[in-house]
Structure 1
């Protein structure tokens, strides 16, 4: 049996693509819905930590 994606959460993108329809992983949309991982926020359409440092993809996986 293979591994399923049942309990897996979607990770946000590190930068908003600025599309008008807002994709499923958009950090702005996730912030508004409250599904953004704890300790992260959005400034100037980029995903950052609450302290204001840039977020790498590696650090993002640890946060989720």
Structure 2
């Protein structure tokens, strides 16, 4: 009868905010920790897809 509470994956930001203490959703930190969704990487402090397509929040949510 109750709702199941699943663990929601933290999605990375699409661009790094360049704060000295890295935030929890920083794409650079997530890349270093290995928690970035598969098929994504970081280039020039910006989240990019390995296949070269545009990064959208909808597709990012599906990947995570």
TM-score (norm 2): 0.86
Give unmatched runs, 5+ long, in structure 1: none
RMSD of equivalent CA atoms: 1.4
Residue 44 of structure 2 corresponds to residue 61 of structure 1? no
Q: Hey, what's the Cα distance between the residues in 1 that align with 2:23 and 2:4? A: 25
Give the TM-score normalised by structure 1.
0.86
Unaligned runs of 5+ in 2: none
For the pair shown, the structure with the greater C-alpha radius of gyration is: 2
TM-superposition CA deviations, 1:13-56 (whole Å, max 9, x none): 00000000000000000000000000000001110111233311
- What is the alpha-carbon distance in structure 2 between the residues aligned to residue 12 and residue 34 of structure 1? 12
CA spacing shift, 1:17–1:3, aligned 2, 3 Å: farther
